[in-house]
Structure 1
Amino acid sequence: MNRVDRLICQVLPHAFLMALVSGGRLLELQLVRRDRPSRVESVFLGRLERVMPDLDAAFVDIGIGRSGFLRAEDRAGIDDWPPPGAPLLVQVRHDGEGDKGPRLSMDIAVTGRYVVYHPLGAGVGFSRRLEGEAERDRLRRHVEDLFEGGVVMRTAAAGASAELLKADAAPVLERWEQIRRLAFSTQPPADLSARIPGDRDPINRALRDHGASLEEIILDDRTMARSLQDKMDRLGEKLRVRWHNGPMPAFDIDDVSGQIDTALAPRIVLESGVEVLFEPGETLIAVDVDSGSAGGRQGRAPRRAVEVNLEAAPAIAQQLRLRNLAGAVVVDFVTMRSSYDRDKVQAALAEALAEDPVPTQIYGFTRLGHFELTRARRGATLAAQLEALQKADD
């Protein structure tokens, strides 16, 4: 697994940008707009507006001007829909887009560094990347007495001691208790997360999601850097916090700006000259691998074809994550005649996609030689986010 080295943060007038960098490679760019912050994972006490029996779904008023959408499979602990006007404790799974409201769930998830706690669930589950029955059994023994309900062990939990797991459980349980108390004392509709200090802080979320592998956080805001360093000192964390006050922007570190420009271009060129073209469409994303200056379209030999594809595979996985592309993806690799070579390329792409926190589903090569996969949707694409930010600045 690639190690996440640092988080580079740049404060702009209308947004806060966080670049997740591993070994000099930009993995993610997270953009938090001040005028339109993401509500993903935020918990609301909503009010049921109307049920749609044909869709087995309902609209819920959460007090943001647009009704949230709740499907039956996103509920927990309810066999039938309650009457209109009933209060519902819900969590935002996806932000709304355009005229559509946010996608909601009643299966509340409280995320820690090593666990995702589902108070209304049951049992112990595991990240698909957390392998080994012995390790799973060890983790299960350590956490099953810490939580009432369900819990999913995150990949970062691999190797974590009982003491670390217990320390991680404490703030997770406290956050759920805060949510629960607010739900009993608040009239719907209400944003409960807004009433919990630090619940939407992007740095807190980054520490929770990547803190197990982060070595350094760089901020170009002196006050934020000092505050974060004080927090690390109080918690006894060894994570370095550095204030960037040089003459050049923080995103010049590791050439983050240049890597963003590359991710906005349709074509990327790898070190050997191999070219990969990304063509997002309305129904699917087409990815074309071309040997470019590294050789002809068919390559000089079958061995060259598989070498080109093996070089392209991790780059494709990185760009899908960085560009935040979602939906059906069809990859046109350089043609390989050998099933052994195709299996080797598929394994390489699967290994690279395993680094992506957004779920992907691999379907493999078709009869026509194309490779198919899907990637779940998690908000707008990188290009759309940056375009919206540019309009806000204008």
Structure 2
Amino acid sequence: MSNELIINSTQDGERIALLQDKRLIEYHFDRNDTAYSVGDIFLGTVKKVMPGLNAAFIDIGYQKDAFLHYGDLGENYPSLTKWVKGVQSQKITVGPLKTFQFDGTLDKVGKIDSTLKKGQQMLVQIVKEPISTKGPRLSTDISMAGRYLVLVPFSNTISVSKKIVSKSERERLKRLIASIKPDNFGVIIRTVAEGREVAELDKDMQNMVEKWDKLFQTLRTAKPNDKVLGELGRTSSMLRDMLNESFDAITVDAAPMYEEMRSYLQQIAPDKLGLLKLHTGKVKVFESQGIEKQLKTLFGKTVTVPGGGYLVIEHTEALHVIDVNSGNKSNQEGDQEATALHVNLSAAREVARQLRLRDMGGIIVVDFIDMKSAESRKKVEDAVRDIMKHDKARFTILPITKFGLLQITRQRVRPVENIVTGEVCPTCGGTGKISASILVTDEIENSIEDLLVTQNQSGITLNVHPFLHAYYTKGLVSRQMKWYLKYYKWVKVMKDTSLGLTDYRIEDEHGEEIELHSAAAAMSRLQDREIEIID
């Protein structure tokens, strides 16, 4: 099974696609204007204490106050508070906690109003990004994630991921970490640490200790609402969490991002530098990898299931609903139970993929086709669990009810990814009218002749709809070749699926746009002209 990470840089941020055997299984959009990411640590100010909710609202500079529940304070909150006060008052002058005296543990069943006061400053970490009308969710259980380990200050506990099942391996990792961890720091050993040598784990540990020292230095002079320590960007954090032996390629299409990724890989996995590639082709990286087409087909309200059937996906404020339909598959098999099982098994795999792809969280209800057999229902449940075991988010799956409903709860950390798949017609711009399509080839011919002869251009590129691309490039003596024989200059013809049938764009040898014909823009100009005449 091959894994590829494809990163497309845009003006608004980075589009990140994870492909598994060329199929899209994860998609993220890391926006440039997002200043609040999971893992970021802020010096917040208590704005309001809510005893009825046993929670408080914290100001960290976001337009909506962040939410902090008493249960998210963590048992080491008194020690954290003592340390923060000591650092800001300059009484604590070193970052390591070797000589720091803990200040007891927090009462698990205490009350928020006896712990926090309005106006109090506190160190908080974002555990859930702002979703819908809600602000970020916070915790004071500070942690710093590395590739193999998670460093937890004010603790001495060493925990091992439950996914590492070998007893001997768990004991080996605990012994190794106990020998290299700093005093008064706890460690969570991640699944990817399985089988790793002490040198790799120690390097990861030192990187996290450096993060803690950076946090300490920033906190000494931090003002309320300041970001004290920023988490890695979405791209780098995906690399950190997912990079393994099955990765075949990491492709980026922007030089600055390439250098950033190269630097990060040099730090965490120098042996993986050969996987990093810079896409320099004329065709956009998402287009060349077939990702654009997958995005349009996988994020719609209706999603086709391979092997027959389709899903209808609805998003609401409270939950997500997925309806499984058999489609024309219902006519292909005589046994109704066999048909239902076949479609449901295929749908189960696609449902698990959609949850991860759209990053759907909260409550998900899947309405499978009714099955009478308990054995069939168990097979479908097992299929969902088997595929979702690769999902990094925490989830719970309940048995299928007698009504055919499967209930899933999945960790919601970020807003659900949603791509608008309905488009305004690129040819008419929603007006319902286009210029006569039969004239577009004449317009292109005139433009080419004007550029090559009158303006003496060379090395130009014509971008057109795939239908027009075939019109100009196919045949024994193509029209593209006829241009060369006529003007003694080669015109490169590229297909662009984002263009309408009667649209085209011409670029010079440096890739700069020198002519754009858009039917929508032309129709808009024509309407403006009609209005002027009427006026």
TM-score bucket (shorter structure): 0.7 to 0.9
**Residue identity opposite 2:141 in structure 1:** D
**Partners of 1:332 and 1:370 within 8 A in 2:** yes
Matched, 1:95 2:95: no
> What is the aligned partner in structure 1 of residue 197 from structure 2?
161
**Residue identity opposite 1:8 in structure 2:** I
Q: Distance in 1 between matches of 2:156 and 2:402?
A: 42
Matched, 1:346 2:381: yes
Q: Once the 2 structures are TM-superposed, how far is the Cα of residue 358 of structure 1 from its aligned partner?
A: 1.5
The 5-angstrom pairing of residues 213-228 of structure 1 reads 213=245, 214-228=247-261
Q: Once the 2 structures are TM-superposed, how far is the Cα of residue 231 of structure 1 from its aligned partner?
A: 5.0
SS in 1 for 2:311: strand
**Partners of 1:50 and 1:59 within 8 A in 2:** yes
Q: Distance in 2 between matches of 1:64 and 1:378?
A: 17
Q: Once the 2 structures are TM-superposed, how far is the Cα of residue 165 of structure 1 from its aligned partner?
A: 1.9
Matched, 1:272 2:307: yes
Q: Distance in 2 between matches of 1:130 and 1:327?
A: 26
Corresponding residue to 2:357 among 315, 318, 322: 322
Aligned residue pairs total 381
Corresponding residue to 1:24 among 15, 22, 25: 22
> What is the aligned partner in structure 2 of residue 114 from structure 1?
148
Q: Distance in 1 between matches of 2:46 and 2:420?
A: 31
> What is the aligned partner in structure 2 of residue 33 from structure 1?
31
Q: Distance in 1 between matches of 2:266 and 2:131?
A: 40
SS in 2 for 1:90: strand
> What is the aligned partner in structure 2 of residue 143 from structure 1?
177
**Partners of 1:263 and 1:323 within 8 A in 2:** no
Q: Once the 2 structures are TM-superposed, how far is the Cα of residue 99 of structure 1 from its aligned partner?
A: 4.6
Q: Once the 2 structures are TM-superposed, how far is the Cα of residue 106 of structure 1 from its aligned partner?
A: 0.3
Gaps (5+ residues) in structure 2?
78-105, 107-113, 423-535
**Partners of 2:300 and 2:421 within 8 A in 1:** no
Q: Distance in 2 between matches of 1:127 and 1:68?
A: 29
> What is the aligned partner in structure 1 of residue 367 from structure 2?
332
Q: Once the 2 structures are TM-superposed, how far is the Cα of residue 121 of structure 1 from its aligned partner?
A: 4.4
Cα gap change, 1:128 to 1:299, in 2 (>3 Å): farther
> What is the aligned partner in structure 2 of residue 391 from structure 1?
none
Cα gap change, 1:159 to 1:305, in 2 (>3 Å): farther
**Residue identity opposite 2:19 in structure 1:** V
Matched, 1:124 2:149: no
Larger displacement relative to structure 2 (344-353 or 132-141): 132-141
**Residue identity opposite 1:118 in structure 2:** V
Corresponding residue to 1:284 among 308, 314, 319: 319
SS in 2 for 1:374: strand
**Partners of 1:31 and 1:385 within 8 A in 2:** no
Cα gap change, 1:7 to 1:299, in 2 (>3 Å): farther
Q: Once the 2 structures are TM-superposed, how far is the Cα of residue 319 of structure 1 from its aligned partner?
A: 0.5
The 5-angstrom pairing of residues 224-243 of structure 1 reads 224-229=257-262, 232-233=265-266, 236-239=270-273, 240-243=275-278
> What is the aligned partner in structure 2 of residue 173 from structure 1?
209
What's the TM-score, normalizing by structure 1?
0.87
Cα gap change, 1:178 to 1:297, in 2 (>3 Å): farther
CA RMSD of aligned residues (A): 2.6
Q: Distance in 2 between matches of 1:385 and 1:38?
A: 24
Corresponding residue to 2:411 among 368, 376, 387: 376
Corresponding residue to 2:337 among 302, 305, 314: 302
Q: Once the 2 structures are TM-superposed, how far is the Cα of residue 296 of structure 1 from its aligned partner?
A: 4.5
Corresponding residue to 1:202 among 208, 213, 234: 234
Q: Distance in 1 between matches of 2:167 and 2:374?
A: 31
Q: Once the 2 structures are TM-superposed, how far is the Cα of residue 91 of structure 1 from its aligned partner?
A: 0.5
Cα gap change, 1:142 to 1:81, in 2 (>3 Å): same
Q: Once the 2 structures are TM-superposed, how far is the Cα of residue 362 of structure 1 from its aligned partner?
A: 0.8
Q: Distance in 1 between matches of 2:162 and 2:289?
A: 31
- Over the matched positions of the two proteins, sequence identity in percent amounts to 29
Q: Once the 2 structures are TM-superposed, how far is the Cα of residue 63 of structure 1 from its aligned partner?
A: 3.0
Cα gap change, 1:84 to 1:133, in 2 (>3 Å): same
Larger displacement relative to structure 2 (369-378 or 288-297): 288-297
Matched, 1:73 2:86: no
Q: Distance in 1 between matches of 2:53 and 2:356?
A: 32
Q: Distance in 1 between matches of 2:308 and 2:252?
A: 35
Corresponding residue to 1:367 among 394, 399, 402: 402
Q: Once the 2 structures are TM-superposed, how far is the Cα of residue 384 of structure 1 from its aligned partner?
A: 6.6
SS in 1 for 2:399: strand
SS in 2 for 1:383: coil
Cα gap change, 1:122 to 1:289, in 2 (>3 Å): farther
Q: Once the 2 structures are TM-superposed, how far is the Cα of residue 209 of structure 1 from its aligned partner?
A: 1.5
> What is the aligned partner in structure 2 of residue 46 from structure 1?
44
Q: Once the 2 structures are TM-superposed, how far is the Cα of residue 72 of structure 1 from its aligned partner?
A: 0.5
SS in 1 for 2:290: helix
Gaps (5+ residues) in structure 1?
388-394
**Residue identity opposite 1:211 in structure 2:** L
**Partners of 2:24 and 2:291 within 8 A in 1:** yes
Corresponding residue to 1:152 among 176, 182, 188: 188
Q: Deviations over 1:63-120 (max 9, x none)?
A: 3444221110111223351433332110011222455321111011211112222224
Matched, 1:83 2:111: no
Larger displacement relative to structure 2 (303-312 or 88-97): 303-312
SS in 1 for 2:418: helix
Q: Once the 2 structures are TM-superposed, how far is the Cα of residue 208 of structure 1 from its aligned partner?
A: 1.2
Q: Once the 2 structures are TM-superposed, how far is the Cα of residue 297 of structure 1 from its aligned partner?
A: 10
SS in 1 for 2:338: helix
